[in-house]
Amino acid sequence: MYRSSERRFLLINYLTIIALFVLILAGGVVRSTGSGMGCPDWPKCFDRLVPPTHVSELPADYKDKYVAQRVKKNQRFAKSLDFFGFSDLADRLRHDKSVLEPESFNASKTWTEYINRLIGALTGLFLLACAFLSVTYLKSKKRIFFLSLLNLFLVGFQAWLGSIVVSSNLVAWIVTVHMLLALGILAISIYTYFYARVLRDRQLLANKAPGNIKPLSVAALVLTTIQIALGTEVREMIDEISSSMNHLNRSEWVSNVGLGYLLHSNLSVIIFIIAIILLIMMRRKYLGNSYQFKFIVYVFFLMLAQLVTGLTLAYLALPPVAQAVHILLASLIFGAQVYLLLLLKQNKLYKSRSF
């Protein structure tokens, strides 16, 4: 039986995981609609807690003002990169001319980005609540407390990095780091949720040693993470191609990406094949109603849906809805793979038995 304090932690942790997926979806909507610079400053939006709805509400020189702010912030960030030994990245940031390009006000893009930030703030509050409620595990499972605390630190760093994403005018490598850090926060939240559950319910663990299933599952998770990073890079390449073609001939954008897209798409096929192999291996090893088999089935169908959205993007000229769903499915696959790896740990009650 769970204590009342543990039930509260599990509930908030569960809601945090949902909020993180919603936040990733919101981020996908922002990217697919080109709303990333809808708010040219951070944490406010056009220096307001509630952004404007019409350009007439802004001063005439608002473009110059926010460009100057971005340049100043980027100079400070470049110095930090120099300090930590990333001089090449610092030089790229200093000489990136796109930072000097002002963004025209667009109410729909501004409010799309603003809603994304509101969801991010709500998610941050959930993570703060998780850290506070995790105190109940200081005696029974210290790792839950310290990881919840780490996640709170990471979300603060993520918020700061979000401000750099804005000030750098969506520089590709910073956007990729931003996405990977979001996945890291998600993985920690899933981990703390699982171990808070398993503390009182050991039946979640496998009744058999996973054998070769575990390293193959680890490989699938690593490849999925690489694929998501490549997908972020591909999206940035498409933005560049779109700009060079004056946002015309949308159906030709993907075909002009080249090697990056080929790697991304071929890797998705490899991961899907691994999922099929894992599905067969787990069906032979675990019962059909076991958590382990259920989750590999979830992963399989999520990957199938992911392939469908990928084909939709490639052959139907990148519809924005499919872009957002594609990113959400990628994060769901990642989350399901993390949880599946945790489920593969063998219950000690069965280690001395033979099957």
**Tens digit of pLDDT for each residue in 271-291?**
999 999 999 999 998 888 888
**Tens digit of pLDDT for each residue in 151-177?**
999 999 898 888 777 766 666 677 888
pLDDT confidence tier of residue 353, bands split at 50, 70 and 90:
very low
With beta carbons less than 8 A apart as the criterion, state whether 340 and 299 touch: yes
- d(CA 282, CA 295) in angstroms, rounded, equals 10
- d(CA 230, CA 270) in angstroms, rounded, equals 14
- d(CA 128, CA 220) in angstroms, rounded, equals 31
Query: Higher model confidence: residue 41 or residue 243?
Result: 41
Q: Which of 37-41, 133-137, 226-230 has the lowest mean pLDDT?
A: 37-41
* CATH number given to 204-355: 1.20.120
Query: Higher model confidence: residue 192 or residue 62?
Result: 192
Give the up-direction half-sphere exposure of residue 196: CA atoms within 13 A in the CB hemisphere. 31
With beta carbons less than 8 A apart as the criterion, state whether 228 and 334 touch: yes
**Tens digit of pLDDT for each residue in 78-113?**
888 888 787 887 887 787 777 777 778 899 999 999
Asked if pLDDT for residue 324 goes beyond 80, the answer is: yes
User: Structural domain boundaries of the chain?
Assistant: 1-200, 204-355
